[in-house]
């Protein structure tokens, strides 16, 4: 079970308990189910509207696991990740940035802090 804490300067923090069966859900799906107002548009990893900042609760590191291909394209286009960081990500298998697309990032068995909007 993972605790997902959503935090925004405009709203009260809310922690959601993601059960094992929900580990196929994205951050955005969990947010919508719990009435957390993360901005979104395409829901398909193309527009960049849903960028959030994701941090592991215990170590303040970026999330483990690489970005998916759509996140790479959008985050690079937004200037939130460099090609060198992308290349290193495929070596380390660790996300090189705290910036993630809420509609693409699938919840894992880790307690995380999701900050929105990301800037």
Point out which residues bind ligand FES (CB under 6 A).
Answer: 40-43, 45-50, 74, 101, 103
Minimum CB distance to ligand FES, residue 26 (Å): 9
CB of 39 to ligand FES, least distance (A): 8
Report whether 31 contacts 103 (CB < 8 A).
Answer: no
DSSP class per residue in 1-57: -EEEEEEETTEEEEEEEE-GGGTT-BHHHHHHHTT-----SSSSSSS-TTEEEEEET
Residue with tokens 């460099």: 82
Of 46 and 85, nearer to ligand FES (C-beta) is 46
Q: At its nearest, how many Å lie between ligand FES and the CB of residue 70? A: 7
End-to-end CA distance of the chain: 28
> Of the two residues 5 and 29, which places its CB atom closer to ligand FES in the complex?
29
The nearer residue to ligand FES, 20 or 45, going by C-beta atoms, is 45
Q: In this complex, which beta carbon is closest to ligand FES, that of residue 47 or of residue 57?
A: 47
Supply the minimum distance, in Å, between the C-beta of residue 51 and ligand FES: 8
Nearest by Cα to 79 from 48, 115, 41: 48
């Amino acid at each position: 079970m993972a605790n997902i804490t959503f935090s925004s300067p405009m709203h009260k923090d809310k922690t959601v308990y993601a059960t094992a069966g929900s580990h196929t859900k994205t951050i955005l799906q969990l947010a919508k189910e719990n009435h957390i107002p993360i901005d979104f548009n395409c829901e398909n990893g193309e527009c960049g509207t849903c960028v959030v900042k994701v941090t592991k609760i215990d170590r303040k590191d970026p999330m483990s696991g690489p970005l998916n291909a759509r996140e790479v394209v959008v985050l690079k286009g937004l200037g939130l990740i460099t090609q060198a960081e992308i290349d290193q990500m495929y070596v380390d298998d660790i996300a090189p940035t705290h910036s993630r697309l809420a509609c693409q990032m699938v919840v894992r068995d880790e307690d995380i802090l999701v900050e929105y909007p990301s800037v």
